[in-house]
Amino acid sequence: MIINEKNFTVDCKDPLIGKLSGTLRLPSPTAYHEPFEYIKRGINESNESYTINSTNLDFLNSSGLTAIARLLMHARKVGTPIKIIGNANIPWQTKSFPSLKKLWDQIDVELI
């Protein structure tokens, strides 16, 4: 499933990978519920790990970061390890993504 909005795309065609791209500036963490629903489904249905690829995500506001943290806490609850792939050339990703590892020891962050 692909959610294609004016400023962002959430691509979940691969059942084990959610790809985020563009600019995510939704007004609250709950506003991310619908765009991230297919990522949550992938986490629920995965028999192995799930990957969130954000290498093409230019901007994510604090509400979006909170929404991702909630996804990670859900993954911890259902026992699905998570890999976050970020872009080492985007400063907010190099600052924010490594701190998400504190939520659970089964979160792997790779900045490429």
CA 32 to chain centre: 11
**Which tens digit of pLDDT belongs to each residue from 49-95?**
999 999 999 999 999 999 999 999 999 999 999 999 999 999 999 99
Residue 39 has pLDDT above 90, yes or no: yes
Whole-angstrom distance, CA of residue 36 vs CA of residue 55:
17
pLDDT at 84 (0 to 100): 98
The pLDDT value recorded for residue 47 is 86
Residue 16 near residue 49 (C-beta atoms within 8 A): yes
**CATH number assigned to the domain comprising residue 61:** 3.30.750.24
- pLDDT value, residue 68: 97
pTM: 0.95
Q: State how many domains the chain has.
A: 1
Q: Looking at residue 25, what is its pLDDT?
A: 96
Q: Is 91 helix (H, G, I), strand (E, B) or coil?
A: helix
Q: Are 7 and 21 in contact (CB under 8 A)?
A: no
Structure token digits, residue 110 = 């790779």
Question: Residue 55 sits in which domain range?
Answer: 2-111
Per-residue confidence (pLDDT) for residue 1, from 0 to 100? 83
pLDDT in the model for residue 21: 98
Task: Label residue 105 exposed, middle or buried (CB < 10 Å: 0-12, 13-18, 19+).
Answer: exposed
